[in-house]
A and B are shown apart, each in its own frame.
Chain A
Amino acid sequence: MMMLGLGSVGLVLLSLAVQSGHGAQDSAVWSREETTERNYYTRYHNMSEITAWMEQMKRENPDVVSSMVYGQTYERRNITLLKIGLSSTVRKKAIWMDCGIHAREWIAPAFCQYFVREILRTYKTDTKVNEMMKNLDFYITPVLNVDGYIYSWHNESTRLWRKSRSPGTGGCTCYGTDLNRNFYANWGMVGVSTDCCSETYCGTKALSESEAWAVTDMLGKMREDILAFLTIHSYSQLILVPYGHPNISAPNYDELMEVGLGAAKAIKAVHGMDYTVGTSPDVLYANSGSSRDFARLIGIPLSFTFELRDKGEHGFELPEDQIQPTCEEAYAGAQHIITYTHDKAFYSYAATVTATLWTTLLAAWVSSAILL
């Protein structure tokens, strides 16, 4: 009786719902371990699936993919990244991307997986991706907050967990520190809580959390080589530039905004979605201790936070049928930033060398002409 009453718009909605189906049901037909099935990248995956997937990426692409364990979580789990790039005898520049620093933002690890698959799928045939794989190494951490992510998969009541899983101290019985308030970047100054029960608890001190320490350590070792730092979150559809503190400006704010706006334009061209670009205090809220701010502070010039879909309708529980379009648009945005970064590093240098060469030749010709 309800069906008869549906108008045309209602029918569209109903058929969309039917088409998207349910991830868990689909997995009965396809093995969840098999990533060759095209619908693998349209579903959310738990930590053991992602770990198995990382092994598979290495196995299938041994000449371009390796992995690195660069830290341990509170619960003593490995924090692992994939290093992706054509091998080289010389030291290479790098792009850093991490996903899942906040456990409940499931679309973020899904995007990291999609990104890896996409560059591996296209680098042999796409000349630009090939060039970037030649000149750069991509360091991609699919899940940074491993403990939190696993906890968010435990049952429906833990799904919205955000923080790490370290216990509270000093008589506070709650768990977890907000990893994105725990970095050594104006730590504890604004947009944080000192209550360990709070979702934005910044920890007992900067880098109290081993996960934040692991990233800090890696970035410190690599910092001369990292050209761009991308940290992936949800939700709100934003591209955030440093800094989270309202009174501090990045020296290259104009460049960051220009590149960010270019990324937002690239995103919109894919599915029409609007992503707002700005500093966190301008477009969202003030905060301190973020990984993005730390990256900028140690000198990585292009440092961005992506906040993916949606704008609050589903929030953290983004339907699986939106994984693909979200990843497609975010990929376009990330590629805009990475391409800019790559070209700035490799074409500017070439341009400078070429200009110098011509100037030298011209001077030699002129002086020889005068002498004759």
Chain B
Amino acid sequence: MGWTLLILLVVLTVVHGNPTVMVRTGSGPTVGFDQHPNSVPLGEDIQTTTEVVEEVMTTGVLNPSHYPARRAATVVQHYLNTRYGSPYRWIFLSTVHSGSAEVGVEVEDQHTLGSVSGQCSAELFFPGGEGQSAPQVQASCEGLHQSNTTAQEEAFYQQHRASNNLVSGNNIPDSYGHMEPSMKPFWQLGGVASSFIMLRESNESTLYNMAQVANFTQLETEKDQLRFNYHVLLHEMISQEIIHWKLLVTWSPEQGVQVLQTELQPKCHHCEAPPNTTN
């Protein structure tokens, strides 16, 4: 039983859409279960981070190319998506750089699809022992606010808030990695919503990504929130398992992404039998 404290200096790119890290005043995105860091406006975290640095100096430097830094950085990615993600903002990170003066790693995303780099510093706790609870993350970011997604988000919101034309889709991306351009925001929204689960489920022995949106269905707009049922497939790298989750997701530009319900789907063993096919 023990706590693993990691400080990460994280450089991120926001992919798929003009990235902006917006400060949400009032209620930020919340998760309807478990502990979750209180929504803290940008800027205040920096102080918290530096206060903790001294404690961590003794634990040594994380090798940026080794798996602990990678797994931790991915958890930070999930956290940032729960805070700042939207149908037009899905944050990814790729390369990990090591800081020399301090205990930390810098993560930089060099994604090629016309995205923007930003820099975040984060601290991350993996609670150990029985009754695993979610990792605790605090992060502050700068530089991600180079373009504004507000216009696209607002347009998307207005387009879909009327209930006379509810959208649905499946297999995003499809087997060939393809998705219709109109489905892309729903894919990204699924990714951001999945981040709530991936964050909650993460520990030192996991590495989660969303493999696919199996399907989603838009429900009636309620309290000005777009609402969706999502069925997502998560890939857990260490076990190599594909894990099915159903989510009830809401979003608006004001409130951000919220995940109201989650339901783990059991693995279908009888689905594995050979199909009657000659190939």
Tell me the A residues contacting B by CB distance below 8 Å. Answer: 1-2, 4-7, 9-10, 12-14, 16-18, 20, 22-24, 43-44, 46-48, 75, 106, 150-151, 153-154, 156-160, 162, 165, 173-176, 178, 193, 197-200, 236-237, 271-272, 274, 276-278, 282-285, 311-320, 322
Contact = CB atoms under 8 A, between A and B. Distances in A.
B162 to A, nearest CB: 13
Contacts of A284: 67, 237
Contacts of A2: 152, 155-156, 159
B237 A13 contact: no
Contact of A315 (B152, B176, B211): B211
Interface centre among A6, A13, A277 (most CB of B within 10 A): A13
Given A6-B152, A274-B95, A313-B15, A13 B239 contact: no
B277 interface: yes
Interface stretch (B216-224, B248-256, B266-274): B266-274
Nearest to A176: B272
A200 B239 contact: yes
Q: Which 9 A-B pairs have the closest CB atoms?
A: A319-B177, A312-B209, A199-B240, A5-B155, A12-B114, A5-B151, A175-B272, A317-B177, A159-B175
A212 B11 CA distance: 42
Interface centre among B147, B209, B210 (most CB of A within 10 A): B209
B279 A319 contact: no
Nearest to B153: A5
B92 A313 contact: yes
B65 interface: yes
Given A22-B176, A274-B110, A317-B211, A283 B65 contact: yes
B200 interface: no
A30 B239 CA distance: 40
Nearest to B215: A156
B156 A320 contact: no
Given A175-B272, A284-B67, A316 B211 contact: yes
Nearest to B208: A312
Interface string B76-96: 000000000000100010110
> Interface majority SS on A: helix, strand, loop or mixed?
loop
Contacts, number: 158
B17 interface: yes
Interface of B: 15-18, 63, 65-67, 70, 74, 88, 92, 94-95, 110-116, 147-148, 151-152, 154-156, 158-159, 170-171, 173-178, 181, 184, 209-212, 233, 235, 237-242, 267, 269-275, 277, 279
Given A13-B17, A17-B184, A282-B66, 16 more contacts: A7-B152, A16-B113, A158-B275, A173-B270, A174-B269, A176-B272, A197-B269, A198-B241, A274-B110, A282-B65, A315-B235, A316-B235, A317-B173, A317-B176, A317-B212, A320-B176
23 contacts: A2-B155, A5-B152, A7-B148, A7-B151, A23-B176, A46-B279, A48-B279, A156-B174, A158-B275, A159-B175, A159-B212, A160-B235, A175-B273, A199-B242, A200-B240, A274-B95, A285-B67, A313-B209, A314-B177, A317-B211, A319-B173, A319-B178, A320-B176
Interface centre among A174, A200, A320 (most CB of B within 10 A): A174
Given A9-B147, A22-B176, A156-B175, A173 B17 contact: no
A165 to B, nearest CB: 7
Given A175-B273, A285-B67, A14 B114 contact: no
A198 B272 CA distance: 12
B112 A319 contact: no
Contact of B176 (A24, A150, A173): A24
A156 B235 contact: no
Nearest to B116: A9
Contacts of B209: 312-313, 315
A173 B275 contact: no
A292 to B, nearest CB: 16
A228 B18 CA distance: 45
Given A173-B269, A314-B173, A320 B178 contact: yes
Contacts of B267: 197
